[in-house]
Chains A and B, each alone.
Chain A
């Protein structure tokens, strides 16, 4: 099978080369060819670089693999929350998962079709190779949206983000801001009623007869962070959607309402381990984001105030709630938009983590600050790198003079 596919690709290859029949679609052909088969060329053996054929498509695929645990759990959780809300506290595993799969799949398909479509078209126009950055963005985008976000909004936001955040800056690897997060930021500011509040984080319709029923009386769709932000007391009660008290373990496991992929800290950390083990994400950034968030939450928790109910929550709970862990593992570590120097990575990560909790607690308009914190960090990453490099140069100059 594999051999025959390869033979077929080699046979039709000349038609896509200059002078061939389908010369215009060369980038599409190259895109598929190198997606399916590892290219047998590396960059030239000159200079100081390490050469292997682990190109960026292979890298992207590993990130996608690392996202799969959180995604599958997210799908199950979508179904679980739906069944919980209609009074089935112990749904069959398969029913819940199937419901979530059917609810999430359209979002993934739409994000990929729109994003890859624009990538393909712009690659054709500019005679570039098709770049693979969207392989990851396309799966990240649905995972950071609430389940009730309409697919047309995701399509609009994805198109906006791919064009104005990535393509106008020169394509994959040239963007200043994280593409997936800008998609979410666009949705957040353009359609706030579909991105925050009490009614978007739990699915509300039955799909093909699955999950049909009446909402139970005690139902409330608010996320834990939403409940905390509006509680206005020093002992905010954090409950699930049917009014049951949530323990730290519930928050860590993630059977709570929230954006599709962000709820389960456990499965996100599992993906994080894959990234760390394969060396794709920087452990410096990941670690310092968690440290930054923990320190900030600890400081706030030392001086709790009823005006800012988030400060009454313990640091560990803060790290398990909302999108903090997801942002730390998958968003802040984006190698394109993060800081590049080692010291810079610590500063960048700490800034992102501390800001996420700072916004979450002390800005009552935003119950969750991880998205804004990472985007803010993205904007500052080049400056951090510049300062680190300049101070390094100055130190060495001083040493040289002595």
Chain B
């Protein structure tokens, strides 16, 4: 079996656009609102979710035949919780500042709907390698949207990008001011909505039939 045959390719790349977990399935919105005020925490969050999702998918996929159906949610939760704690500890050890900014939201990866969705819908019925790719793909799809939202919000809200000033001082001297609303969660919602708007108008097949 080729490592990247057509089926695996679509498993990996579909979640980036056509089947994006955030803007098409509208999952994982809470964290997309909470951690996207600045780009750096958003990227760290994206990488963390990708890592947890990929490994949880692999582990669940490996033991999928031995999990009793009636307790599968609990098994999934145990696996995810263990991985989240590992990620949390690594972040605390190597990037304490960002870990403090993300505060509870790393721990809340456990409740991220994307994780449960992928474990239920994919890992329970597929082999480890496609499950791994599915985790990476969905994680990246999530990260892309977080990065776009965070870029917009950080530039307009703080005038910086990854902590560097990108809006020239001359503009501030001319009377420009940072948009305080961009820092607040409502604008994250509206930014996500705008991305969905653009995405759907470019992909006609995603538009629902108007009855």
Asked whether A190 lies within 8 Å of B190 as measured between CB atoms, the reply is: no
- Measured between beta carbons, the chain A residues less than 8 angstroms from B176 are 152
* Interface assignment of A107: CB less than 8 Å from any CB of chain B: no
Asked whether A189 lies within 8 Å of B184 as measured between CB atoms, the reply is: yes
CB-CB contacts below 8 Å: A145-181 with B: 150, 152-153, 156, 164
Q: How far is B176's CA from A45's CA once the two chains are assembled, in angstroms?
A: 55
Closest to B156 in A: A190
Dominant secondary structure of chain B at its interface with chain A: loop
Closest to B157 in A: A190
Asked whether A190 lies within 8 Å of B182 as measured between CB atoms, the reply is: yes
A150 interface neighbour in B175, B180, B181, B182, Cβ under 8 Å: B175
* Interface assignment of A193: CB less than 8 Å from any CB of chain B: yes
| Closest Cβ–Cβ distance, residue B159 to chain A (whole Å) | 13
Dominant secondary structure of chain A at its interface with chain B: helix
B180 interface neighbour in A152, A156, A164, A189, Cβ under 8 Å: A189
Asked whether A164 lies within 8 Å of B179 as measured between CB atoms, the reply is: no
B149-185: contact bitstring with A at CB < 8 Å (1 yes, 0 no)?
0000000000000000000000000011101111010
Q: How far is B177's CA from A186's CA once the two chains are assembled, in angstroms?
A: 14
Closest to A156 in B: B179
| Closest Cβ–Cβ distance, residue A106 to chain B (whole Å) | 14
* Interface assignment of A194: CB less than 8 Å from any CB of chain B: yes
Asked whether A190 lies within 8 Å of B181 as measured between CB atoms, the reply is: yes
Asked whether B175 lies within 8 Å of A189 as measured between CB atoms, the reply is: no
Asked whether B180 lies within 8 Å of A190 as measured between CB atoms, the reply is: yes
A164 interface neighbour in B175, B177, B190, Cβ under 8 Å: B190
Asked whether A192 lies within 8 Å of B175 as measured between CB atoms, the reply is: no
- Measured between beta carbons, the chain B residues less than 8 angstroms from A192 are 180
- Measured between beta carbons, the chain B residues less than 8 angstroms from A22 are none
- Identify which of A150, A156, A189, A193 gathers the most chain B CB atoms within 10 Å of its CB: A189
Closest to B175 in A: A150
* Interface assignment of A191: CB less than 8 Å from any CB of chain B: yes
- Measured between beta carbons, the chain B residues less than 8 angstroms from A193 are 177
Q: How far is B184's CA from A251's CA once the two chains are assembled, in angstroms?
A: 35
Q: How far is B177's CA from A150's CA once the two chains are assembled, in angstroms?
A: 10
Closest to B182 in A: A190
Closest to A185 in B: B181
Asked whether A191 lies within 8 Å of B175 as measured between CB atoms, the reply is: no
Asked whether A186 lies within 8 Å of B181 as measured between CB atoms, the reply is: yes
Q: How far is B179's CA from A95's CA once the two chains are assembled, in angstroms?
A: 36
A194 interface neighbour in B177, B181, B182, B190, Cβ under 8 Å: B177
Asked whether A191 lies within 8 Å of B179 as measured between CB atoms, the reply is: yes
| Closest Cβ–Cβ distance, residue B189 to chain A (whole Å) | 10
- Measured between beta carbons, the chain A residues less than 8 angstroms from B190 are 164
- Measured between beta carbons, the chain A residues less than 8 angstroms from B175 are 150, 152
| Closest Cβ–Cβ distance, residue A177 to chain B (whole Å) | 12
Closest to B187 in A: A190
Q: How far is B177's CA from A156's CA once the two chains are assembled, in angstroms?
A: 12
Q: How far is B177's CA from A192's CA once the two chains are assembled, in angstroms?
A: 10
CB-CB contacts below 8 Å: A311-338 with B: none
Q: How far is B175's CA from A153's CA once the two chains are assembled, in angstroms?
A: 10
Q: How far is B175's CA from A150's CA once the two chains are assembled, in angstroms?
A: 8
- Measured between beta carbons, the chain B residues less than 8 angstroms from A164 are 190
Asked whether A191 lies within 8 Å of B177 as measured between CB atoms, the reply is: yes
Q: How far is B156's CA from A186's CA once the two chains are assembled, in angstroms?
A: 14
- Measured between beta carbons, the chain A residues less than 8 angstroms from B184 are 189
Q: How far is B156's CA from A191's CA once the two chains are assembled, in angstroms?
A: 12
- Measured between beta carbons, the chain B residues less than 8 angstroms from A150 are 175
- Measured between beta carbons, the chain B residues less than 8 angstroms from A191 are 177, 179-180
Q: How far is B190's CA from A152's CA once the two chains are assembled, in angstroms?
A: 21
- Measured between beta carbons, the chain A residues less than 8 angstroms from B177 are 153, 191, 193-194
CB-CB contacts below 8 Å: A29-58 with B: none
CB-CB contacts below 8 Å: B187-210 with A: 190
Q: How far is B190's CA from A200's CA once the two chains are assembled, in angstroms?
A: 29
Closest to A191 in B: B177
- Measured between beta carbons, the chain B residues less than 8 angstroms from A152 are 175-176
Q: How far is B174's CA from A152's CA once the two chains are assembled, in angstroms?
A: 11
| Closest Cβ–Cβ distance, residue B111 to chain A (whole Å) | 27
8 A-B residue pairs with Cβ-Cβ distance under 8 Å, sorted by A, are A164-B190, A186-B181, A189-B180, A189-B181, A189-B184, A190-B182, A191-B177, A193-B177
17 more A-B contacts (CB under 8 A) besides A189-B180, A189-B184, A191-B179?
A150-B175, A152-B175, A152-B176, A153-B177, A156-B179, A164-B190, A186-B181, A189-B181, A190-B179, A190-B180, A190-B181, A190-B182, A191-B177, A191-B180, A192-B180, A193-B177, A194-B177
Binding site for A on B (CB under 8 A): 175-177, 179-182, 184, 190
Which 3 A-B pairs have CB atoms at the shortest separation, nearest pair first? A190-B181, A190-B179, A189-B181
Binding site for B on A (CB under 8 A): 150, 152-153, 156, 164, 186, 189-194
